[in-house]
Structure 1
């Protein structure tokens, strides 16, 4: 079994890709809260992160370039999604279509 260790820079690049995916999807579905999966967590950014932090009372993080980020473990969607829908929000869960492993082309 091979274990790939990801540096903080690589992780930051991957989160940047998640942010770009969020921006792209948010442009199409501006009335929904967009949750983008990255590893074992769902991330959201910007205005969606602010909505979730106010609704749940959990402070968002300030990422690169003062970007507001909010994340939750994937299993927490079991309680999070019903709460958001009951509050009247539309929610889109975005999953990656493939995983690119380091060293594999």
Structure 2
């Protein structure tokens, strides 16, 4: 599945775009924990964030729009994924697709 979410405001919309991607994937895979990657971090939201935060023994954070969120460095997935699967969760990772359009700088 490919989700194309383009931000005109760049980094300012990072969390919103990550949330939109998470929400889109979550609609299709409601029973999975969704982790969406942006650069060197994975983001997750809502009840997924609460589950991940519980496994990491950290507090989930509310973002500027009062959404519960959790972010973690990408290299934590090597440690976190086996824990989630062993606990009986299905996991989906959202990876960005980057490409440069011809004639666009």
TM-score class normalised by the smaller sequence: 0.7 to 0.9
Asked whether 1:29 is paired with 2:29, we answer yes
Q: Higher helix proportion, which one?
A: 1
- Count matched residues: 94
Structure 2 gaps, min length 5: 1-8
CA deviations 1:49-90 (Å, max 9, x no partner) are 011122321111110211111011001111000010000000
Alignment of 1:28-47 (within 5 A): 28-47=28-47
Determine if contact 1:36/1:95 at 8 Å carries over to the other structure.
yes
What TM-score, normalized to structure 1? 0.82
Inter-partner Cα distance in structure 1 for 2:11 and 2:46: 19
Residue 74 (structure 2) aligns with? 74
Inter-partner Cα distance in structure 2 for 1:51 and 1:40: 21
List structure 1 runs of 4+ shifted beyond 4 angstroms.
none
Inter-partner Cα distance in structure 1 for 2:36 and 2:99: 14
Residue 6 (structure 2) aligns with? none
Determine if contact 1:33/1:90 at 8 Å carries over to the other structure.
yes
Aligned Cα root-mean-square deviation (Å): 1.6
Inter-partner Cα distance in structure 1 for 2:74 and 2:54: 20
Structure 1 gaps, min length 5: 1-8
Alignment of 1:11-22 (within 5 A): 11-22=11-22
